[in-house]
Amino acid sequence: MFFFRIKPIISWLFNLILYFYLKLTFIMNRKLYIPFLIACCMMAFGCIAPEKKKVSVRGDIDNLGFSTLYISYFNKDKILAYDTVYSSRSGKFEFKVDSYDKITPVTIYFAQKKCWTTLFAEPGDRIAIKGNIQMVDLLYISGGVVNNDLNRFKKQIQKLYMTRQAILNGKYPTSDEKEQHLAEINLLLKRSAKEFIKDNPDAIASVVLIQDFFYQEYDPITKDLLNLLEGEAQESHLTQRIREGIKEW
C-alpha cells in the first residue's frame, strides 16, 4: 500500500521536471534562434549593400558602332583603375563601377583614347549617356546633380561648341584663320564657364569647369576661381586635388 501512495508523488515530480525541461529547452532554442536570425539578416544585408555602392552606366551613342571603351575611376585605395567594355553595333553599352567617394569621376575613352567624356556620380546613381560621338563634348549625361548641372552649361554653350567643331573639321582653309577663330571661340567658352562658376559657387559642376577650362591649361586665374567656391564645392575632394596640383606648377 505504501508503494501506491508514493506513485502519485513520483508522477507529479516527473511531470514537474518535464515541464521545466521543456520550458528551458524552448528558452534556449529561442535564444539561439534570435542570434541566428540576426546573423542571417546581416549576411543578407551584406550581400545587398555593395550593390548600393555601385554606379550603373548605360550608353546609347550614335555613330559609335562596335568599339572598345576604356573606363577609368578611383578604387577604394584611391588608385586610378581601368576596365574595358565593348559597345554593340548600335552604339549601346553598359557597365558598373564601385563608388567609394561621395562624388566619383568616371572617364570613358572612345576611339582608341582619342576622345573622352567624364561623368560624376554618387553611390547608387544610374547614369544614362546619349548623343553623337562626333560631338563628344555635347554628349547628354543624365542622372546625378553634377551631371544635370553640367547639362545646363552645355545647353548654354552648345552653339559655341558646334562652331568650334566646324572649325576643327576644316571650315577655314588656312591655318592662320583656323587658329584665330579657335582662339576666339575658346575665349568665349572660358567666359561662359567663368560666369557659370560665379553664379553657382556651391555646385560641384563649377569645380569641374574650373578643372576643364582653366586648371588643365595652367591658367593663373585658377586660384582666383577656386577662392570663389562655397560650401560643398569648396570642400570637395576634387577641389583639393586641383589645389594640390597647382603646387606643382
pLDDT per position as a tens digit, 212-235: 999 999 999 999 999 999 999 999
**58 CB-near residues (< 8 Å, 6+ apart):** 92, 93, 94, 126, 127, 128, 129
For residue 27, the model assigns a pLDDT of 46
Percent of the chain beyond pLDDT 90?
Answer: 61
* In the predicted structure, residue 13 carries a pLDDT above the cut 60: no
* In the predicted structure, residue 19 carries a pLDDT above the cut 60: no
Q: Is 226 exposed, middle or buried (0-12, 13-18, 19+ CB in 10 A)?
A: buried
For residue 10, the model assigns a pLDDT of 54
* In the predicted structure, residue 33 carries a pLDDT above the cut 50: no
For residue 95, the model assigns a pLDDT of 97
Name which of 30-34, 62-66, 97-101, 231-235 the model is least confident about.
Answer: 30-34
Question: How many degrees, rounded to 5, is the angle at CA 170 between CA 164 and CA 172?
Answer: 85
For residue 129, the model assigns a pLDDT of 98
CA distance 64 to 132: 8
- Confidence bin at 186 (pLDDT 50/70/90): very high
Q: 129 near 60, Cβ under 8 Å? A: yes
pLDDT per position as a tens digit, 192-204: 999 999 999 999 9
Higher pLDDT, 20 or 86: 86
Q: Where are the domains of the chain?
A: 1-51, 53-143, 145-249
Q: Tell me the CATH number of domain 53-143, given options 2.60.40.4150, 3.40.50.10710, 2.60.120.10, 2.60.40.1180.
A: 2.60.40.4150
Name which of 19-28, 109-118, 137-146 the model is least confident about.
Answer: 19-28
1-21 average pLDDT score:
49
For residue 42, the model assigns a pLDDT of 52
* In the predicted structure, residue 32 carries a pLDDT above the cut 90: no
For residue 49, the model assigns a pLDDT of 41
CA distance 198 to 63: 36
129-156 average pLDDT score:
95
CA distance 63 to 211: 28
Beta bridge partners of 84: 70
97-118 average pLDDT score:
89
For residue 18, the model assigns a pLDDT of 52
Grid coordinates of 34:
534570435
* In the predicted structure, residue 8 carries a pLDDT above the cut 60: no
Q: If we measure between CA atoms, which residue out of 215, 205, 212, 214 comes closest to residue 236?
A: 205
For residue 104, the model assigns a pLDDT of 87
Percent of the chain beyond pLDDT 70?
Answer: 79
Question: How many degrees, rounded to 5, is the angle at CA 246 between CA 231 and CA 153?
Answer: 50
